[in-house]
Amino acid sequence: MGRRVVVTGMGCLTGLGNDLATTWENLLKGVSGVRTITRFDPSGFATKIAAEVDGFDPDAWMDRKEARRQDLFTQFAVAASAMAMADSGLDMETEEATRVGVIIGSGIGGIGTHEIQTSRFLEGGPSKISPFYIPMMIPDIAAGIVSMRHGAKGPNYCTVSACASSAHAIGDAFRLIEHGDADAIVCGGTEAAVTPMSIGGFAAMKAMSTRNDEPERASRPFDAERDGFVLGEGAGMVVLEELDHAKARGAERIYAEIVGVGMTADAYHITAPAPNGEGAARAMRLAVEESGLEPEAYDYVNAHGTSTPFNDEYETMAIKSVFGDHAHDMMVGSTKSMTGHLLGGAGGLEFVITSMVLAEGKVPPTINLENPDPQCDLDYVPNTMREAEVGAALTNSFGFGGHNAVLAVKRFEE
């Protein structure tokens, strides 16, 4: 048994709000963050909707000159990590900097910067390419800049595994702290992929909802009328910390304790999940086994729940294969019904949400679940939040390429 690892700070930016408190309030109300795209003119695109972060001001978090040299995905990471650090009360003036790390996942990185600079190259040649193009675009730069801002000199890198990216980041951070390689790590994920090429590319795959006339009703996990995922953007960051370290410095709040990680590969298809959710089930089983808790101790699963036909059906099958009859006694929610799908940032945000469920005893609903798919027959907390004591939970993240990452979390007890 390694060292205990707890969550002492959290921050996020979503289509539901520019901080955790606002996002959480809107999640409990069942508010949808999905709207017609404003970042560019979506006319001519098959999909015209997304859950954009509204009203974000990077100047509130960094110098204006610095902001101009960062892609939006990095700006989101800087803001959300600053919120998490402030929430934790971790003081880098008194910490041993080499024992504090930063691990941030992003599936696509600076795709907005890439599109702009490609356009400039095509119009004016190589002399028009910005000298900041590469450092603005590369996915690892968010972790690098966050470490520079806080002076964190411990483990520092980026995880890139599509929609499992930030769950892998948090899982890695857990392992590093558990094994004694760090005392605290800022970790999570960020994504800013509401761009023409990103929307166009996912639409070309027929992966996205085209319910453009009803944006708020477009993301509908586990519903028989679901027609694809809705893209979201933003960031979800946490401070993970070794328990004795947190107590010694007088951490004001411990939201939850992370107790297990499961990581597997489908080894099946570039985009489709393995039949019956076989790879997802193995990841969930590994996380539960590592936690040391009986399957019956789990009350909630924050599902990957993308609102795509195969994912929702196979994830349901995976949950039932892991938990057996107990699966029907559990709450299974998809908060993507409100936030949209943050791609590489999804796991970070959903870990934040799951930790709030454990800390607050309130479970956000799965909205737009009006006509349940007969193949999806679990308790998805339809349309209305629920107050419930949750002792332990899983949060699932599954990515293109067959990447599966599952995090097990429990309510903190001394």
Question: What's the mean pLDDT in 92-106?
Answer: 98
Query: How far apart, in Å, are the Cα atoms of 392 and each of 173, 283, 300, 406?
Result: 20, 16, 7, 13
The pLDDT of residue 398 is above 80: yes
The pLDDT of residue 139 is above 80: yes
**Residue 83 pLDDT class (50, 70, 90 cuts):** very high
pLDDT digits (tens, 9 = 90+) for 278-337: 999 999 999 999 999 999 999 999 999 999 999 999 999 999 999 999 999 999 999 999
Q: Which of 114, 150, 304, 403 is catalytic?
A: 304
Closest CA to 264 of 405, 397, 158, 393: 405
Per-chain mean pLDDT for the chain? 97
Question: What's the mean pLDDT in 121-137?
Answer: 98
pTM of the model: 0.98
The pLDDT of residue 239 is above 60: yes
b or e along 113-123 (b: 16 or more beta carbons within 10 Å of the residue's beta carbon)? Answer: bbbbbeebeee
pLDDT of residue 414: 84
Cα 77 to Cα 2: distance, rounded to the nearest angstrom: 29
Question: What's the mean pLDDT in 20-39?
Answer: 98
Question: DSSP assignment of 106-128, as one string?
Answer: -SS-SHHHHHHHHHHHHHH-GGG
pLDDT of residue 66: 93
pLDDT of residue 202: 97
The pLDDT of residue 1 is above 70: no
Class of domain 5-248: alpha beta
The pLDDT of residue 353 is above 60: yes
Q: Any idea how long the chain is?
A: 414
Describe the crossing of helices 346-360 and 165-178 by its angle, rounded to 10 degrees: 60
Pick the CATH number of 260-410 from 3.40.47.10, 3.40.190.10, 3.90.1150.10, 3.40.640.10: 3.40.47.10
Q: What residues does 331 pair with on adjacent strands?
A: 300, 379
Answer yes or no: 187 catalytic. Answer: no
- In this structure, the strands spanning 256-265 and 234-242 are unpaired
- In this structure, the strands spanning 331-333 and 386-387 are unpaired
Domain spans, the chain: 5-248, 260-410
107: which DSSP letter?
S
Question: What's the mean pLDDT in 250-279?
Answer: 96
17: which DSSP letter?
B
Amino acid identity of residue 253, one-letter, is R
The percent of residues above 70 in pLDDT, for the chain, comes to: 100
Question: What's the mean pLDDT in 98-102?
Answer: 98
For tokens 């990515």, the residue is: 399
**Residue 351 pLDDT class (50, 70, 90 cuts):** very high
Describe the crossing of helices 141-150 and 72-88 by its angle, rounded to 10 degrees: 40
Amino acid identity of residue 348, one-letter, is G
Cα 56 to Cα 93: distance, rounded to the nearest angstrom: 28
The percent of residues above 90 in pLDDT, for the chain, comes to: 99
Q: Which of 158, 163, 187, 376 is catalytic?
A: 163
Q: Which of 114, 150, 168, 341 is catalytic?
A: 341
Contact 83, 237 (CB under 8 A): yes
Cα 336 to Cα 340: distance, rounded to the nearest angstrom: 5
Decide whether 5-248 matches 260-410 in CATH topology: yes
Answer yes or no: 163 catalytic. Answer: yes
Question: What's the mean pLDDT in 11-28?
Answer: 98
User: Residue 27: what are its φ and ψ, rounded to 5°?
Assistant: -60, -45
Query: How far apart, in Å, are the Cα atoms of 99 and each of 135, 185, 354?
Result: 26, 8, 26
